[in-house]
């Protein structure tokens, strides 16, 4: 997925979009720019513009192309059972590449996508190379034996201890195995974006 300059995108959509922007240096730089902008004219953004920005925030956060993301939204809104916001959140979070990132096995979703694409991840003992694969409750994820020896996993024990994993995932560091224990639930404090605004954007 071609995304352009990450810092430029972060300035427009927010630092939570990319892990690269979640540094003290970037935050201080943005704070200085914000003070400068307050002295100038403030640009009014329409409701449509706000919804568009929110849609872009979510899309770039998960690293999805427009058609791919629009399909997730369509599927979430067409399901007769369930709440569209919950359905959309679960579809995005249950992507295999996102789960690998959430477990702390990769420093970014882009890196997690590479791990999956190159066949380093197995689900229920079967190797998968599809980043968009949707995990189910009860699925067991593991690393290939050769992958466990890679330098990125050398200090996995220490990194996982510091990494806050979601409650719907459990991870056995010694076995390098993770299990999907439940479906993900939306948490407004952790999201960093408004999915209801995204659904409204596509319903126009």
Does residue 10 form part of some domain? yes
176: enclosing H helix or E strand:
none
pLDDT of res. 71: 96
pLDDT of res. 10: 61
Q: Are residues 135 and 62 in the same domain?
A: no
Q: Are residues 104 and 173 in the same domain?
A: yes
- At 119, which CATH number? 3.10.290.10
What is the length of the chain? Answer: 204
Q: Are residues 117 and 154 in the same domain?
A: yes
Does residue 90 form part of some domain? no
Q: Are residues 64 and 128 in the same domain?
A: no
Q: Are residues 62 and 117 in the same domain?
A: no
Q: Are residues 56 and 79 in the same domain?
A: yes
Edge to edge, the sheet with strand 121-123 lists: 126-128, 121-123, 140-143, 177-180, 169-172
Q: Are residues 176 and 99 in the same domain?
A: yes
Q: Are residues 65 and 107 in the same domain?
A: no
Q: Are residues 49 and 108 in the same domain?
A: no
Considering only 127-141, 147-161, 181-195, which range has the smallest mean pLDDT?
Answer: 147-161
Structure tokens at 122: 């197995």
Does residue 76 form part of some domain? yes
Does residue 66 form part of some domain? yes
Cβ neighbour number for residue 2 with a 10 Å cutoff:
4
Tell me if the pTM is above 0.85: no
**How many domains does the chain fold into?**
2
- At 58, which CATH number? 1.10.1050.10
Inter-residue contact 186 to 195 (CB < 8 Å): yes
**Which carries the bigger pLDDT value, residue 30 or residue 140?**
140
Q: Is the pLDDT of residue 110 over 80?
A: yes
The arithmetic mean of pLDDT across residues 7-22, rounded, is: 59
Does residue 197 form part of some domain? yes
- Per-residue DSSP letter, 162: H
Q: Which residue segment(s) compose the domain that 74 sits in?
A: 6-85+192-202
Q: Are residues 154 and 100 in the same domain?
A: yes
**Which carries the bigger pLDDT value, residue 151 or residue 21?**
151
Interval 24-82: pLDDT, tens: 555 555 555 555 544 454 567 788 989 999 999 899 899 999 999 999 999 999 987 77
């Amino acid at each position: 997925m071609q995304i352009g300059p990450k810092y430029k995108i972060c300035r427009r959509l927010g630092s939570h979009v990319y892990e690269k922007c979640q540094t003290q240096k970037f935050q201080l730089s943005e704070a200085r720019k914000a003070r400068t902008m307050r002295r100038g004219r403030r640009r009014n953004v329409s409701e449509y513009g706000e919804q568009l920005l929110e849609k872009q925030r979510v899309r770039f956060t998960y690293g999805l192309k427009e058609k791919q993301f629009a399909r997730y939204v369509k599927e979430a809104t067409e399901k007769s059972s369930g709440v569209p916001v919950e359905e959309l959140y679960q579809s995005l979070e249950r992507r295999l590449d996102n789960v690998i990132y959430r477990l702390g096995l990769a420093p970014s979703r882009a890196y997690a996508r590479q791990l999956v694409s190159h066949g380093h991840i197995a689900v229920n003992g079967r190797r998968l190379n599809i980043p968009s694969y949707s995990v189910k409750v009860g699925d067991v994820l593991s690393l290939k034996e050769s992958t466990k020896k890679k330098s990125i996993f050398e200090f996995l024990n220490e990194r996982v201890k510091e990494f806050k994993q979601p409650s719907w995932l459990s991870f056995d560091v010694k076995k390098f195995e993770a299990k999907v224990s439940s479906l993900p639930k939306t948490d407004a404090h952790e999201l960093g974006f408004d999915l209801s605004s995204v659904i409204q954007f596509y319903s126009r």
